[in-house]
Amino acid sequence: MGNQGGNARKVRHFAVFVLVWTTEPRLDSGMRICAITMVYRDHWALRQWYLHYARHLGPQNLFIVVHGPDASVPKICPEANLITVPRDNLASFDRMRSDLLNRIQDQMGDVYDWVIRTDVDELICLDPEHFESFAAMFDAYEDAQSLFALGLDVIESADDAELGGEERVLEHRRHAVFSGHYSKAFAARRGTHLARHGIVNTATSAFTMPSGVYLVHLKYANIDALQMSNEHRIEIANGTETGLPGEAWRKARRQTLRFLHRFEALPHVDWPHASEMAYDLVSDTPETSADKGVMRARSLQFDHRTILPEWFAQA
C-alpha cells in the first residue's frame, strides 16, 4: 500500500505523545502494564474488552487503535487513550495491522514493563488459584520476553439468554471449547513483536505459556453481534485491494454455521480434565514457521466441550 509507511510513522509519533501524557499512574505493585487493541465497528466486543481490562489495569492504561473514524468509540471507552488511523486503503490488511501495532507496542515499551495485546474480542483471564493479578503473573515470569495463553472459544448455546449492551459476558456464558488456534501470544516486552498468533522468532525466543492463564475468544459468545461482524468481514474480504483476508472472511456466515453445528455435537468433558488435557497438548512442542520466522502454538482442534468454572464470572 502506497502510503502505509507514512501513515504508520504518523501514528507512531502520536502514540509517543499520548504515552507522555497518560501513563503516570502505576499499579499497586509498581509495575507498569498496559493493553492495546485495534477495532473497526465491533462495538459489543469493544465494550467487553474495555470493561475487562479497565478493571484490571485502569482505563488510563488502555490504548485503542480505531481503524477509521468512529464517533461511538469515545462513548464506549470514555477514559481510554484513542488513536484513530485512516481506513482508505486495506491492501495487505493483516500485515499492515500487525506492523502498525508492533510499532506502537515498541513505543509503549519505552514506558511500560509489559504490553498486553489482544484482538478486541479476546480477554485474558487468570485462574485465581494461580495468580491474584496481572502484576503477580508478570512478576512470576520476570525473565520472559513474551507470554502465551491457553485459548478457548466461549459460545452462546441454545439455552442461553440474549445479551444486551451492558452485561459482562462471562457472567452469562459458560459453554466453551479449547482451541490451539487461539492459544496466542498475548503479552510482550519491548522489542518482541507479535505476528500470526505467535512471536517473531529470534535465537533467544522461548515458548512460555503459564498454567492458569486463558485467552477467552468471544466471537461466538453473542450471536447477534457476530452476525453484524460477519457482514463487515464479508465486505472487507470482497474488496478490490490485494492482500485481503481470504475464504474464512468471504464465507463468514458458512463458517459460523459450521462451527456452531460442530460444537453442539461435541461430548462434554468436565473442566478439570478438559483444561489439564488442553494445556498439556498445547504447551508441548510449539511450531516454528521457517519462512515466516514465527513461533506459535499448534492449531489443535479438540473433540469435546466443557463448562467454565464459576470463577470466570469474576475474572
171-175, 184-188, 227-231, 242-246: least confident range: 242-246
The answer to whether 185 and 102 have CB atoms below 8 angstroms apart is no
The answer to whether 305 and 175 have CB atoms below 8 angstroms apart is yes
| Residue 47, C-alpha cell as written in the block | 465494550
Q: What is the pLDDT of residue 137?
A: 98
| Residue 202, C-alpha cell as written in the block | 529470534
Q: What is the pLDDT of residue 25?
A: 44
The mean pLDDT of 63-91, rounded to a whole number, is 91
The mean pLDDT of 224-229, rounded to a whole number, is 84
Q: What is the pLDDT of residue 23?
A: 42
For residue 167, give the nearest of 228, 116, 215, 225 by alpha carbon.
225
Q: Is the pLDDT of residue 304 over 50?
A: yes
Q: Is the pLDDT of residue 18 over 80?
A: no
3-state secondary structure of 206: coil
Can you tell me the distance from the alpha carbon of 25 to that of 17, in angstroms, rounded to the nearest whole number? 16
The mean pLDDT of 38-65, rounded to a whole number, is 96
| Mean per-residue pLDDT over the chain, rounded | 86
Q: What is the pLDDT of residue 22?
A: 44
Q: Torsion over CA of 127, 192, 102 and 9, rounded to 10 degrees?
A: 150
Q: What is the pLDDT of residue 94?
A: 73
- Quote the number of domains for the chain: 1
Q: What is the pLDDT of residue 83?
A: 95
Could you tell me which residue, 225 or 266, shows the higher pLDDT? 266
Q: What is the pLDDT of residue 2?
A: 39
Q: What is the pLDDT of residue 239?
A: 63
Q: What is the pLDDT of residue 243?
A: 65
The mean pLDDT of 4-17, rounded to a whole number, is 38
Q: What is the pLDDT of residue 138?
A: 98
Q: What is the DSSP letter of 40?
A: S
Q: What angle do CA 215, 218, 223 make, to 5 degrees?
A: 165
202-221: per-residue pLDDT in tens?
Answer: 766 799 999 999 999 999 99
Residue 212 to residues 50, 144, 239, Cα–Cα distance (Å): 22, 17, 40
The whole model's pTM is what? Answer: 0.87
Q: What is the pLDDT of residue 204?
A: 66
For residue 141, give the nearest of 213, 208, 57, 53 by alpha carbon.
208
- Beta strand 306-307 with 175-179 is antiparallel
Q: With bands split at pLDDT 50, 70 and 90, how would you rate the model's confidence at 291?
A: low
Q: Is the pLDDT of residue 201 over 60?
A: yes
Of these ranges, 9-18, 114-123, 189-198, the one predicted with the greatest mean pLDDT is 114-123
Q: What is the DSSP letter of 312?
A: G
Q: Is the pLDDT of residue 274 over 80?
A: yes
Share of the chain above pLDDT 70, in %: 82
Q: Is the pLDDT of residue 160 over 60?
A: yes
The answer to whether 167 and 182 have CB atoms below 8 angstroms apart is no
Q: Is the pLDDT of residue 135 over 80?
A: yes
Domain with 299, as residue range(s), is 4-314
Q: What is the pLDDT of residue 292?
A: 72
Share of the chain above pLDDT 90, in %: 67
Q: Is the pLDDT of residue 1 over 80?
A: no
| Residue 215, C-alpha cell as written in the block | 485467552
3-state secondary structure of 143: coil
Q: What is the pLDDT of residue 97?
A: 85
